[in-house]
Amino acid sequence: MTLRDTLLNTTLNLFSRYGIKQATMDDVARACGISKKTLYRSYENKARLVDAVVLASVEQIRSEYREVALSSADAVQETIALLRHFEAICKRINYRMLLDLEKYYYDSWLRIDTFRQKIWRDIITENLQRGRAEKLYNDEFDKGIIATMRLQQLAFMHQTAMQNLALHETLLQVSIHYLKGIATARGLDRIREMTNQNNTI
Q: What is the pLDDT of residues 135-148, one digit of tens each?
A: 999 999 999 999 99
Single out the residue of 37, 164, 43 nearest to residue 11, CA to CA.
43
Residue span of the structural domain in which 87 resides: 50-197
71 belongs to a structural domain: yes
Question: For the chain, first and last CA: distance in Å?
Answer: 32
174 belongs to a structural domain: yes
d(CA 56, CA 38): 20
133 belongs to a structural domain: yes
pLDDT digits 0-9 by tens, 156-184: 877 766 665 567 778 888 889 999 999 99
87-111 burial code (b ≥16 CB/10 A, e <16)? bebbeebbbbbbbbbeeebeebbeb
Q: Is the pLDDT of residue 54 over 60?
A: yes
Q: What is the mean pLDDT of the chain?
A: 88
pLDDT of residue 198: 54
Selection from 14-18, 129-133, 169-173 with the highest mean pLDDT: 129-133
Cβ–Cβ < 8 Å for 124, 78: no
86 belongs to a structural domain: yes
Region of 135 please: left (phi>0), alpha (psi -120 to 50) or beta.
left
Specify the CATH number for the domain of residue 88: 1.10.357.10
- Enumerate long-range contacts of 5-8, CB under 8 Å, 24 or more apart: 5/56, 6/32, 7/32, 7/34, 7/39, 7/42, 8/52, 8/53, 8/56
1 belongs to a structural domain: no
Whole-model pTM: value is 0.80
Cβ–Cβ < 8 Å for 139, 113: no
Number of domains in the chain: 1
> Which residue spans within the chain are E strands per DSSP?
none
